[in-house]
Amino acid sequence: MINLYFIGSAGSGKSSLTNAFFGWMENQRYDAITVNLDPGIENAPYVPDVDIRDWVKLDDVIKEYGVGPNGAQIIAADLLALNIDEMKDIIESFEADYVIFDTPGQMELFVLRQSGKFLIDTLGADQSIIGFLYDPIISKTPSGFISLMLQAASVQMRFNVPFLNILPKSDLLKDDEREKIINWSRNIMDLEDDIHNEVPTMQSQLSIEFLLALKSFGASQNIIPASSTYGSGMEDIYNTVQQIYYGGEDLSKD
């Protein structure tokens, strides 16, 4: 069983990608389930097989603790840990090959709260992988791309599990924009050249120092362009996960 967690900033397309990747898995006759970890999600594009809202409802938290929506999200994230054993039993009862996790819209609720790491560890860090979503609009500029690289590196350091970078909503980009972003993920020297051309000297030097640190950390790795609208990139995500955990061997089909 592989636990695949989609993590990214609000609006990056986690729920849409969860839906698209699950649909692709179904079409390929691979065994997968979806898990919603966002207690505040509304109108999800998929019907989760396991849903945190069965244990924690945001409206109930607001009423019980007398907090606003933001405070309720924080409390709900911590309450998740109290129900993790029951959730684990239900997830394991499906005996699925892939468990696809849609994490909270506000990334910090999962990444920075102890409950997020506790969940990954409890469900099995040794069988987990994170798909980090790069916002395509922010990624269009060198400085924006570097800022997302820093976010990705902090997530990778926080959870210390296998990691892949995904460019969702890539259909919103022009062909040359998409290709430039892909090239930046593969060639830091090109990214360094472009940052010189974008920002003043002092800021460019700071960005370059960040780049050098990220390079030594090993944060530079290929990014997978994907589109939930057109279904592109799903096979690449699957193949990358299979390569990491099974040496590229395919799953058996139902």
| Residue 59 is assigned to a structural domain of this protein | yes
| Residue 22 is assigned to a structural domain of this protein | yes
Q: Which residues contact 90 (CB under 8 A, 6 or more apart)?
A: 50
Range of the domain at 242: 2-187+222-246
Q: Is there a contact between 34 and 160 (Cβ–Cβ < 8 Å)?
A: no
pTM above 0.85, yes or no: yes
| Residue 145 is assigned to a structural domain of this protein | yes
pLDDT tens digits, one per residue of 130-140? 999 999 999 99
The count of domains in the chain is 1
Q: For residue 27, give the CATH number of its domain.
A: 3.40.50.300
Average pLDDT of the chain is 90
| Residue 198 is assigned to a structural domain of this protein | no
pLDDT tens digits, one per residue of 144-202? 898 899 999 999 999 999 999 999 999 999 999 999 999 999 988 888 888 888 766 67
pLDDT tens digits, one per residue of 40-74? 888 899 999 999 999 988 889 999 999 988 888 88
| Residue 211 is assigned to a structural domain of this protein | no
